[in-house]
Structure 1
Amino acid sequence: MTPIPLRAHSEFSITDSIIRISDYVAAARAANYPALALTDLMNTFGLLKFYKACRKAGIKPICGADVRIENPEQPEKPHRAVLLIRNEQGYIRLNELLTAAFEADDRNKHTPQINQAWLAQGDNSGLLCLSGAQMGEVGSHLMLGNDDKARAAAQKYAAWFPNAFYLELQRLPEKPDWETSVSGSLKIAQALQLPVVATHPTQFLQQGDYKAHDARVCIAGGWTLIDPKRPHDFTPSQHFLSTADFAARFADIPEALHNSQEIAKRCNLTLTLGKNFLPLFPTPDGMDLNDYLRHLANEGLQERLAVLYPNEAERAQRQPEYQARLDFELDIIIKMQ
């Protein structure tokens, strides 16, 4: 069974990854992965570049984002989750959520994150949600021994994402304590009939890249490598895994590997490349968009000429020259559509 990598940060997660998208896709092709996901932290800046690279390499692109989600109990420690795009509707929805995290009036102004109310009120049918493993709301409660709260959180997310919520499992050799989240998630999955999925938090490509990655994290956080008080949030094993290593890590939970394939089948975003899509602009009285552009431009020209040439006779004399230039520019703009 070939599992699918569903979680990775790239160079567009500027605080914690050193993976170039072209190298990431090349590594996946060399490892014979049929599909691959990119989930940068709170952004989709690399989505188009990733999509093009995967298509060129013959790999199915799975697009999404690693997101922070509001934690009312500890606002300074938002929960994490992965949102994967199933279709065009999900692409629009994810961008709406990310935009709101940075721009909405009721956003968290200190740390961009998604408010729980937005998830509860909006249409999430175009997205799949992975629980965030030990960093998600379910997993963090499990790590603290709050099993009832973890179960309630799983029910809440399952309601937000009907038939599209997966309890995420992660394992790293340096983090044996994560088994608390893994075992607890399996119990909740059985009790609530929820699917589980295995992921690997990839931050760099080769194990030898760990020191360079550590330096990147220190630069982003304002620490020095020798600072004994600095956090160590990442480990040397968070490199890109081969299919064999990935499968071996979760050999005892085959359904978690199988579900990574099922998720890949469910994510089918298709982007139209090489075509510009301009936003719809309302016009009065059903006026044609091009005619309205000419109307506004000519109104602006008259206002500008009145300032440049207060004398009406001089303004009338110069009008043809400016009108010809405006018509020339408008013709070019309209032909570009």
Structure 2
Amino acid sequence: MSFVHLHLHTQYSLLDGANKIAELLPRIGKAGMPACAITDHGNMFGAVQFHEAAKKAHVQPIIGCEMYVAPQSRFEKAGRIDDYEAGGNYHLVLLAMSREGYRHLCQLVTAGYREGFHYKPRVDKELLRELGGGLIALSGCLRGEVAHNLTNGQPERARAAAEELARIFDGRFYVEIQDNRLPAQERVNRELIALARAMGLPLVGTNDCHYLRPEDAAAHEALLCIQTGKTFSDERRW
């Protein structure tokens, strides 16, 4: 069975991704993967470089973005970044499936910076309804709206979020599960699978890749320490 990475961060996920495009795509090609997606946080800085490197490696490039989605309106900027009722954000993976989808993805990213920026470049459901054509949506990581509500013991809100996203991306919304060895993820995976089956939604497995080789883990952790203002010696940094 072939596997395709549909949730992957490069060095353009600033202070988070440690995958270098020039090294990544040859590795993907040698692994026999027919395609690979780029889904950097809130931007498409690496899209052109990724596309060119993928073609050279005989890999089908899939251009995407892990969007930051405002819990209410993108114009609501009163709360903190972790305030899911006001100024915070959920994560949502979008993948362009056509020229229209690529154009819409560009417009969404632009609007995130020009209209919704609050700690992060955010879009909202209004924009997703307007510009969702040609895009596939994955429910995202533990910071996704569906998984976040399940983590917090709110299955009704998780189902409501999944229903709304399924309406916006009619026939193009996938419930995302990951295998990252986090206990919270393992528990939520079971609930996500049950939710998807109950709603008749398709599942997709991803790895949420941030670095290429096991030995790159320390470099990736250094990036996260810089991002969060922590040090390696701080045992409570996470």
Q: Fold-level match, TM-score > 0.5?
A: yes
Q: Which residue of 1 aligns with 2:124?
A: 115
Q: TM-score, normalised by structure 2?
A: 0.90
State the 1:222 CA deviation: 2.6
Q: Does 1:149 align with 2:157?
A: yes
> Alpha carbons of 1:75 and 1:230: their partners in 2 closer, same or farther (altered >3 Å)?
farther
Give the 5 Å matches for 1:216-295. 216-231=223-238
Q: Does 1:190 align with 2:197?
A: yes
What is the DSSP-based 3-state SS (H/G/I as helix, E as strand, rest coil) of the residue aligned with 1:133?
Answer: coil
Partners of 1:226 and 1:163 lie apart in 2 by 47
> Alpha carbons of 1:16 and 1:133: their partners in 2 closer, same or farther (altered >3 Å)?
closer
Larger Rg: 1
Give the root-mean-square deviation of aligned CA atoms.
Answer: 1.4
Q: Does 1:35 align with 2:35?
A: yes
State the 1:111 CA deviation: 2.5
Greater share of helix residues, 1 or 2?
1
State the 1:229 CA deviation: 4.0
Q: TM-score, normalised by structure 1?
A: 0.65
Partners of 2:23 and 2:213 lie apart in 1 by 11
Q: Which residue of 1 aligns with 2:21?
A: 21
Give the 5 Å matches for 1:72-221. 72=72, 73-104=84-115, 107-120=116-129, 122-173=130-181, 175-221=182-228
* AA partner of residue 218 (structure 2): K
* AA partner of residue 99 (structure 1): T
State the 1:227 CA deviation: 2.6
CA contact (8 A) 2:90 2:143 kept: yes
State the 1:128 CA deviation: 0.2
Percent identity of paired positions between Structure 1 and Structure 2: 32
* AA partner of residue 184 (structure 2): D
Q: Which residue of 2 aligns with 1:316?
A: none
State the 1:185 CA deviation: 1.4
Q: Which runs of 5+ in 2 are unaligned?
A: 73-83
Q: Which runs of 5+ in 1 are unaligned?
A: 232-337
Greater share of strand residues, 1 or 2?
2
**Residue-pair matches, total:** 227
